[in-house]
Amino acid sequence: MQACGRCEALNKCGLKDEGLFDLCPKLKTFEDQKKIDTGSNRTNSVIDYDILRRYFGYTEFRQLQKDIILDVLKGNDVLVLMPTGGGKSLCYQYPSLLFKGLTIVISPLISLMKNQVDSMRMNGIPAEFINSSQSYQDILKIKSALLQNNIRLLYIAPERFTVPSFLSFLKGLDISLFAIDEAHCISEWGHDFRPEYRQLKQIRQYFPDVPIIALTATATPKVRDDITTQLVLSNCKRYLASFNRENLIYYVKPKQDAFRQIVEILRTKPGESGIIYCYSRKNVETITEGLKSAGFRALPYHAGLSANQRSQNQEKFIKDDVDVLVATVAFGMGIDKPNIRFVIHHDLPKNLEAYYQETGRAGRDGLKSECVLFYSYGDRQKIEYFLKQISNEKEKQIAQNKLNDIINFSETNLCRRKLLLGYFGEDFKENNCKSCDNCLLPKEEIEATTEIMTILSCIDEMDERFGINYVIDVLIGGKTSRLLQNGHTSLRSYGSGKNLPKKMWHGFLRELIQRGYLKVEGEYPVLKLSQKSRDILSQSKSGVKNEKIYLVKPQAIEKPIKIEQDTPDDALFEKLRILRKTLADARNQPPYMIFNDASLKMMASRQPCTPEDFRKITGVGDKKLESYGGIFISEIRRFCEKQDSCGYPVQVKKQSSESITLEMLDQGMDLDEITLKRNLSLNTIYLHIEKLILSGENIKIETLIKKEKAELILSALTETGGEALKPVKERLGDNFSYGEIRLVRAMMMKKV
């Protein structure tokens, strides 16, 4: 290969020997790149934005990505905390293109590996995975490609490090980097500890000179320390991106008629993808069947289903064949679907880490998405019951503390985002985030001194021996058998609150617990007075007038918060979504692998009608421009022609369908490529070409039909006269198509 001026410049400055792949526009493939004598396993701290554009379709890095990549390129150990959807993967995928050797990615789930590898291949990056789903022969082929340095990234599960033969094989490879995804799984202090992750400490033992990048979206300060200790990270620099997912809206709703509320939410989101998390399999099945009956496309996912059924349901969800997946927490880790528009928790999560990770599956494409949590005191009691079964006192206390944190989040009247970020050690400066229910819809406060005194007096009168529901029954003058047996109809407090509905007393009691006026204690939770409430009662009994106390007015069931979205042309966006789904189905891939929703919305808004403008869409790299540019541009042009909506010259808008086919032929595309890119049948493309030939276009059909075949068709046309195609087709047989006959006939007529 002859070097261009740019290559000569690189040689002169010495950068050629630093492993800087893909700097030269003439080096189009990784086979060409390997012809460079890279001489070193590490590269200088150089960032090439052309690689970012060509392979990933971005023109700039996100927060911290560039600094992290520079550290990785220097060969340093790095710990990365970045929220889901924040761009963690790019922090090791980009360097893999610059390193001479292999990048190994440790990933916990097979589905995640496959998605990542498919995504890399669609971007033109050679990647593979090795896991238990493959045959021995498949793994042998991959090992052979690894030995020939034909692979940039290899994804494996942590269990592979327990296999001595595989470790020996790895030691024979030129490895430049280890990337540990979901690194919080290595810590017993985290919410998702996995013992097999502890094996990864062997990386430092067997590969002492290979740098490690550990990545996670959820880790408290204690978990971060444990990650660096377990992986023996040396002089590790920590990059802590903000945990704030600005595009997510958090809100908590009272768990009153939750199914009806879910249906109301889903009706505001027709055709959008979402997950509904439930605590039990029974709830999963009940809600799924209810949603199906209400006309929604929903499927269940829980451990009671067969592995094959779970896999099928997940696949349908990922491919947009269904909109809603109702699941236990068994579902979700490693799900790379970026267009999940809502995550609903029908039941209370066990802790804030799990809640943050599960809600983090929404809006990975950066578009506005909702996170809804239904909360009831009953859910809290269920979890506390199971916590009491834990025999290890240390584990029990850790679990109880984590539960208290999610309860505080659910019951707070302050900014939920501020509380959530504070849990992870991040100080959110604003008091109003403008994207949680407490900030968007501040709750009305009412003077409730009388109601508070009524509650406290009732609890005091019953010697602090009963729970929430029993206290409320006394207040409203209930007539339950238990209340009658205990003789509590004669209490002074009996019926003292019958002027208010039961739900309001529930709300008051919950807030009094949250504000520290009441405590909940005991195996069978009972209400206890705090010192604060004892002081209030003491003052009242001694005749001292209490200060006015205000509580949030208990709310009726709220309607979903309306999210203001960007407004690209909805009609065009829908057309592009349908086109994307058609192409994805043809390739048996998830639609987001082609383009995510954010890219489609940008297309719908900007309406690019030329390859140059289409190239400016975020997420469009060289490989995707080549694979999908033509067909998406054609769809946009057709829309523009009908709507007269884009500001391109008339001749572009009025370009005929046949001329688009001609452009693709001129670019050297074959018929299969054209049919796929244009989403048209092969017969339609043949009709286009026939019309083009008859109109005088110089089309070489020998590039479309083999010479021997064309001669046989010409002979049959001559013998039959060629006016009707059916006799020709019958004479030639099934190996000849009507389209091929049309093209040869058109050439014959043109010569005449």
CATH code of 570's domain:
1.10.150.80
Residue 12 has a pLDDT of 31
Calculate mean pLDDT across residues 30-35.
38
Asked if pLDDT for residue 660 goes beyond 90, the answer is: no
Residue 333 has a pLDDT of 56
What DSSP designation does 567 have? -
Calculate mean pLDDT across residues 26-35.
37
Asked if pLDDT for residue 514 goes beyond 80, the answer is: no
* The two three-digit tokens of residue 368, written as one number: 């506005």
Residue 523 covered by a domain: yes
Backbone angles phi, psi at 170, to 5 degrees: -60, -35
Residue 752 covered by a domain: no
- 475 shares a domain with 434: no
- 400 shares a domain with 295: yes
Residue 95 maps to which CATH number? 3.40.50.300
Strand partners, 526: 521
Residue 568 has a pLDDT of 53
- 328 shares a domain with 196: no
Residue 239 has a pLDDT of 93
Asked if pLDDT for residue 696 goes beyond 80, the answer is: no
Residue 324 has a pLDDT of 96
Q: What percent of the chain clears pLDDT 90, i.e. is strictly above it?
A: 29
Residue 666 covered by a domain: no
- Taking the C-alpha atoms of residue 655 and residue 644, their distance in angstroms, rounded to an integer, is 13
Q: What percent of the chain clears pLDDT 70, i.e. is strictly above it?
A: 88
Asked if pLDDT for residue 352 goes beyond 70, the answer is: yes
Calculate mean pLDDT across residues 516-528.
80
Confidence at 376, pLDDT banded by 50, 70, 90: confident
Residue 698 covered by a domain: no
Residue 334 has a pLDDT of 54
- 285 shares a domain with 199: no
**Region of poorest pLDDT, from 5-9, 187-191, 297-301:** 5-9
Total domain count for the chain?
4
Of 529, 552, 575, which residue is a domain's last? Answer: 552
Q: Give the Cβ contact number of residue 144 at 10 Å.
A: 10
Residue 678 has a pLDDT of 74
* The two three-digit tokens of residue 438, written as one number: 């407490």
Strand partners, 81: 216, 240
* The two three-digit tokens of residue 39, written as one number: 């001489």
Residue 728 covered by a domain: no
Confidence at 289, pLDDT banded by 50, 70, 90: very high
Of 421, 440, 459, which residue is a domain's last? Answer: 440
Summarize pLDDT for 578-617 with one digit per residue, the tens: 899 888 888 888 898 899 898 998 898 888 988 888 988 9
- 231 shares a domain with 258: no
Calculate mean pLDDT across residues 648-655.
43
Residue 627 covered by a domain: yes
- Taking the C-alpha atoms of residue 338 and residue 327, their distance in angstroms, rounded to an integer, is 18
Residue 727 covered by a domain: no
- 46 shares a domain with 172: yes
Summarize pLDDT for 433-489 with one digit per residue, the tens: 989 999 988 877 788 888 889 999 999 999 999 988 899 999 999 988 888 888 999
Asked if pLDDT for residue 645 goes beyond 70, the answer is: no
- 454 shares a domain with 432: no
* The two three-digit tokens of residue 656, written as one number: 């005929």
Residue 587 has a pLDDT of 81
Which contiguous run of DSSP H or E holds residue 597?
helix 597-606
- 399 shares a domain with 366: yes
Of 240, 261, 291, which residue is a domain's last? Answer: 240
- Taking the C-alpha atoms of residue 672 and residue 547, their distance in angstroms, rounded to an integer, is 80
Those residues with Cβ within 8 angstroms of residue 593's Cβ, 6 or more apart along the chain or in another chain: 115, 118, 119, 122, 584
- 212 shares a domain with 96: yes
Summarize pLDDT for 124-180 with one digit per residue, the tens: 899 999 988 888 899 999 999 999 999 999 999 888 888 889 999 999 999 999 999
Asked if pLDDT for residue 61 goes beyond 50, the answer is: yes
Calculate mean pLDDT across residues 416-426.
89
Helix (H, G, I), strand (E, B) or coil at 592: helix
- Taking the C-alpha atoms of residue 663 and residue 659, their distance in angstroms, rounded to an integer, is 6
Confidence at 555, pLDDT banded by 50, 70, 90: low
Query: 207: domain range?
Result: 41-240
Residue 332 has a pLDDT of 58
Per the prediction, the chain carries an average pLDDT of 82
Asked if pLDDT for residue 372 goes beyond 90, the answer is: yes
Residue 296 covered by a domain: yes
- 271 shares a domain with 217: no
- 183 shares a domain with 273: no
What DSSP designation does 702 have? G
- 435 shares a domain with 454: no
CB 8 within 8 A of CB 34: no
Helix (H, G, I), strand (E, B) or coil at 450: helix
Asked if pLDDT for residue 227 goes beyond 70, the answer is: yes
CB 334 within 8 A of CB 112: yes
Residue 30 has a pLDDT of 42
Which contiguous run of DSSP H or E holds residue 552?
strand 550-552
Q: Using the Cα atoms of residue 719, residue 722, residue 723 and residue 724 in order, give the sign of their dihedral.
A: positive
Our measurement of the distance from residue 545's CA atom to the centroid of its chain's CA atoms, rounded to an integer in Å, reads: 56
Asked if pLDDT for residue 672 goes beyond 50, the answer is: yes
